[in-house]
Amino acid sequence: MLLASCSSAVDEPVAVVEALNSEACQLPAETPMAITIADAIADPTAFDGRLVSLEGYYCAAFEMNALYETPDCYSRPELGLWLGGMSPFYSSKGRRVLVTGIFDSRLQGHLEKWPAGICTAKLVEVQIK
């Protein structure tokens, strides 16, 4: 007997737990404010201490964990946001991700090259359509 099943359920993206390290922030119960990387760079102090959620490309290299609007991200730190709390073993660099965490205008990464940063509480890989 052959049984077939159709399901209308849509797989929800799952947070990538192994992307975070012990310095990651706890995810508050409140709803995050959706912002763009451009908004955050234009006025970092406007979002200081707020729970935010934003999409971008995860870029990682030696002494670098950052989020950018484009996958071409390795030469211009001023166009990205530092991601605190990321594991050096998370290897999905270049992927589009949704990051949720606490925005911190003083979290500027290695040698303070980035305009601001996010203490990452949750990271979800996004499927590009």
- The residue written with tokens 């991700």 in the block is 97
| Domains of the chain by residue range | 17-125
Whether the per-residue pLDDT at 93 is higher than 70: the answer is no
Taking the model in full, what pTM does it have?
0.80
Query: Which CATH number does 17-125 carry?
Result: 2.40.50.140
Q: For the chain, how far is it from start to end, CA to CA, in angstroms?
A: 37
Determine the 3-state secondary structure of 110 from DSSP: helix
Which structure tokens are listed for 64? 């670098």
Q: What is the pLDDT of residues 23-81, one digit of tens each?
A: 778 888 899 999 999 999 999 999 999 999 999 999 888 778 899 999 887 778 899 99
Query: In this predicted structure, what is the pLDDT of residue 13?
Result: 58
Query: In this predicted structure, what is the pLDDT of residue 12?
Result: 54
Nearest-Å Rg of the Cα atoms of the chain is 16
Whether the per-residue pLDDT at 97 is higher than 70: the answer is yes
**43-73 as b/e: b if 16+ CB within 10 A:** ebeebeeebbbbbbbbbbeeebbbbbbeeeb
Q: Per-residue pLDDT averaged across 77-103, rounded?
A: 86
Side-chain-side CA neighbours of 52 within 13 Å: the count stands at 24
CA torsion, ordered 50, 68, 64, 62, to nearest 10 deg: 160
CA torsion, ordered 41, 47, 53, 56, to nearest 10 deg: 10
Of 116 and 128, the structure prediction assigns the larger pLDDT to: 116
Determine the 3-state secondary structure of 87 from DSSP: coil
Q: What is the pLDDT of residues 14-27, one digit of tens each?
A: 566 667 777 778 88
- The residue written with tokens 């995050």 in the block is 32
